[in-house]
Amino acid sequence: IKRYTIIKCILDNERIYMKNLSKLILEYEEPLKENRIIGLDRIKVIFKHVREIYQCHQLFNMALSDRANNWQNSDAIGDIIYASFSKSLVLKAYSSFVCHFHNAMDSIKETCRLVPSFLNFLKLVVLVQALMKVTPFPHSDRLALQMSLTQLECLSETLAEKRRDTLLKHKVKQLDMHCIGLSKSFASSKRYFVRQDNMIQCVIKDGSIIKAKHRQLFMLSDMLRMSSKRYEVKWCVPIIDVDVTQEGKGVSLSMIQNKNFNKQSIF
């Protein structure tokens, strides 16, 4: 009974997920195409691989529903889950969606406020984990479920890693949008954001600070960039050309505080 209850939860989760995907296609993508509200290129960016993802889950839902409708206590579903989510098509469709998510959102913000939710897929992993707990080792479905869970977890980790890389690359694009004085864009397919810190740039003469200015230091994967508080680019150099050295006594916190600067991040 516990196994069947969890399987029904998986089916309910799939039903909600497919309903949302179908709504995106039927109520948004197709009307936009028919009415030519926005260009076809932008529509392709927004709805990239939504149909392929829908087809993957449609096939999974059909196979699982058929097994559930003829359910016996000894029946297995691990083989269905593994067969459905070990296909290269699933990884390709989800990877493309994750990698192009920010481009899609940028297009959406310019045209409408459509915010689709694709979290139902991740819920499937939790449900399969729950199913494993109520499927003892002698059960014929145990091995197939273990393989299915491993496949789903690997797929989730791969997508999470791709999403992280996409976020860091998109951060560089956002910096370009806010920066002043750029001669060319810093965004590229291989460059990603590492970290950002506040600092104070000081000019020292005879052991005293004669000039101090607030700056922002941006570390990218292959470049170091300094900007003003208003994001005006002051300089940028390749990481491979940067040498970290220490000369003289440096600048103490008391020297900065005497100049009425209260920032704690000092380089």
Residue ranges per domain, the chain?
Answer: 1-114, 193-266
Token couple for 141: 């479905």
Q: Please give the Cα distance from 234 to 236 (Å, whole number).
A: 7
Higher-confidence residue of 64 and 136: namely 64
**CA-wise closest residue to 158 among 208, 209, 97:** 97
223-227 and 233-238: which strand pairing? antiparallel
**CA-wise closest residue to 126 among 18, 19, 50, 13:** 13
Query: Does the pTM exceed 0.95?
Result: no
Kindly calculate the radius of gyration of the chain based on its CA atoms and give it in whole angstroms: 27
Q: Do domains 1-114 and 193-266 have the same CATH topology?
A: no
Q: Please give the Cα distance from 77 to 163 (Å, whole number).
A: 29
Residue 35: CB atoms within 10 Å: 8
Mean per-residue pLDDT for 247-256? 53
Is domain 1-114 classified as CATH 3.40.50.920?
no
Average pLDDT over the chain, rounded to an integer: 77
CATH topology of domain 193-266: PH-domain like (2.30.29)
The 10s digit of each residue's pLDDT in 68-124 is 888 876 678 888 988 888 888 888 888 877 776 666 666 555 444 333 444 555 577
What pLDDT shows up at residue 104?
A: 66
Q: Please give the Cα distance from 111 to 31 (Å, whole number).
A: 14
Q: Please give the Cα distance from 9 to 251 (Å, whole number).
A: 62
Q: Please give the Cα distance from 241 to 140 (Å, whole number).
A: 61
What pLDDT shows up at residue 187?
A: 76
